[in-house]
Structure 1
Amino acid sequence: MKTLMPALFLGHGSPMNVLEENRYTEAWRELGEKLPRPKGIIAVSAHWYTRGTAVTAMEKPRTIHDFGSFPQALFDTRYPAPGSPELAKEIAAALSPVEVRLDQDWGFDHGSWGVLIKMYPQADIPVVQLSLDGTKPAAYHFELGRKLAALREHGYMIVASGNVVHNLRMASWNGSAKPHVWAESFNNYVREQLEWQGPAEEHPLVNFMQHEGAALANPTPEHFLPLLYVLGARQPDEATSVPVDGLEMASISMLSVQVG
């Protein structure tokens, strides 16, 4: 049996998790310590939402501070992991016949480096980030995950990052606020469907907008879609687990999912 690198979806939440230590960042750190060390990382972030599919293909990707109104220490933080033009080309080949643009401008946005800085603080593992084509339906993203599964056999880890519940307009800035009922319901629904074994086209999480709470949980889809890459890369009967979970600010899910 071929050895597969794990595939991860990490609920990244606030950029402040970069500076803070909490049960979510501790879970990410533990994953970096206990999982097999990857040859390279394929990062899929909610924050690179594009027209068409692209991969970072430069030797030294920049750290992107794609947020505002946060402490200067956050803007001063860098994640100088190397890129890998070779891995970028491997990803493009794996996703064929999808046309994949080899990008020289983007870098690592906070959805990717914000979690990787906790998992691999030494920033010594090559990382290539894959964009989300915002013109495509959910099934397309699941299918790309299926195509990326082959790279797991070659020592590459998929680390996708978003939030399965992400509604900032309904967020509460009261730290003790209880989760909205619809947020908790949708988050539980996602957990219940992680090990779906039926046909891909019938997967409840590919068809996630059919859930009664989905429109509130995901007013826009970009924070949910990264999960589909991990579920698409999951092999039949492969175990899934939840390293950490929680609802913050009443409407932000911190659910993390491990495949393998």
Structure 2
Amino acid sequence: MQKMPVLFIGHGSPMNAIEENQYSSQWEKLPARIPRPQAILSVSAHWFTSGTRVTDSPAPKMIYDMYGFPDELYQVTYSAPGSPHFAALTKELLKDSVSFDNTWGLDHGSWSVLRRIYPHADIPVFQLSVDRLAPAKIHFEIGRKLRALRHQGVLILGSGNIVHNLSRVNWDMNGGYHWAEEFDDYIKSNILMGNLENVIHYEQAGASSTFAFSALDHFAPLLYVLGASDESDHATVFNDSCVLGALSMTSYLFE
């Protein structure tokens, strides 16, 4: 079976699920670039748990985990089936470090992006949580263990933001603050040079890393994706920009 790529999406505002803009238009172009997956494993920033969990429901529920947005956003449905088979394989790969948990479903880190990439919701999707207790290196190592799924037709999707500091968001700003651009560029240059240890040790970016985020929830999905990539992959950068001062939309495809 053809090896699937791995994908990190800077998902930004939930409104990207329904707005036509430069970011959502790039998401919509992805199916023409990559093979059709047998299933999608989504590592979403918005399932932030103590320990690692995976959904194995055959019909995952919608999670509207955002507040204060237009009613239209809460009417969005994405009724993709789950994948008990690949969830079980994921648990086998991660062994006792992961548990099944169907109290969650598909949150907006998953459906806001996937409804633009695969709008027919006809590809099975299951979610892996981000362990709030784990350091960056462990997130990367979990990605390494998940790499085998690529050879089974599974698209591994990380959904988060490389820069995500909501306390410093400026709704009137189009680009990013200097520190946001600096951190985003640090991550990008090290990914493209294959210096993944410098991404794991993101604090080496200096002062910009202290502003980029206050928790690993949105940054960690990138680490899973990098762990699941390998030396033969070519990295493509798209949606390369920061918005609202303190969010990065920069995204990566490894194929």
TM bucket (normalised to shorter chain) is over 0.9
Match of 1:174 among 172, 193, 217: 172
CA distance in 2 between counterparts of 1:99 and 1:186 reads 31
Q: Which residue of 1 aligns with 2:201?
A: 207
Match of 2:115 among 114, 117, 120: 117
CA distance in 1 between counterparts of 2:203 and 2:91 reads 29
CA distance in 2 between counterparts of 1:24 and 1:235 reads 26
CA distance in 2 between counterparts of 1:237 and 1:82 reads 31
Q: Which residue of 2 aligns with 1:194?
A: 191
Match of 2:242 among 247, 254, 257: 247
- Preserved CA contact (<8 Å) 1:33 1:119: no
Query: AA paired with 1:180?
Result: Y
Query: AA paired with 1:184?
Result: E
Alpha-carbon distance, 1:175 to partner = 4.2
- 1:7-31, Cα deviation, whole Å (9 max, x unpaired): 0000000001011011110111101
- What runs of 5+ residues in structure 2 fail to find an aligned partner? none
SS across alignment from 1:5:
coil
Query: AA paired with 1:241?
Result: T
Alpha-carbon distance, 1:99 to partner = 2.4
Match of 1:233 among 214, 228, 248: 228
Q: TM-score, normalised by structure 2?
A: 0.96
SS across alignment from 2:147:
helix
CA distance in 2 between counterparts of 1:158 and 1:143 reads 14
**How many equivalent pairs are there?**
254
Q: Which residue of 2 aligns with 1:51?
A: 50
Query: AA paired with 2:49?
Result: T
> Cα 1:217–1:92, aligned 2, differ >3 Å: closer, same or farther?
same
- 1:6-59, Cα deviation, whole Å (9 max, x unpaired): 100000000010110111101111012331100000100000000111101111
Alpha-carbon distance, 1:94 to partner = 1.2
Q: Which residue of 2 aligns with 1:85?
A: 84
SS across alignment from 2:113:
helix
CA distance in 2 between counterparts of 1:148 and 1:249 reads 33
- Preserved CA contact (<8 Å) 1:186 1:217: yes
Percent of aligned pairs with the same amino acid: 44
CA distance in 1 between counterparts of 2:107 and 2:190 reads 29
CA distance in 2 between counterparts of 1:150 and 1:196 reads 24
1:155-170 superposed matches below 5 A: 155-170=153-168
Structure 1 consecutive aligned stretches of length 4 or more whose deviation exceeds 6 Å: none
Q: Which residue of 2 aligns with 1:183?
A: 180
1:96-111 superposed matches below 5 A: 96=95, 98-111=96-109
- Preserved CA contact (<8 Å) 1:180 1:250: yes
- What runs of 5+ residues in structure 1 fail to find an aligned partner? none
> What value does the CA root-mean-square deviation take over the aligned residues?
1.3
CA distance in 2 between counterparts of 1:17 and 1:89 reads 31
Q: Which residue of 1 aligns with 2:254?
A: 259
Alpha-carbon distance, 1:209 to partner = 2.1
SS across alignment from 1:114:
helix
Alpha-carbon distance, 1:196 to partner = 4.6
CA distance in 2 between counterparts of 1:19 and 1:127 reads 20
CA distance in 2 between counterparts of 1:118 and 1:105 reads 25
Higher fraction of helix: 2
Alpha-carbon distance, 1:215 to partner = 1.2
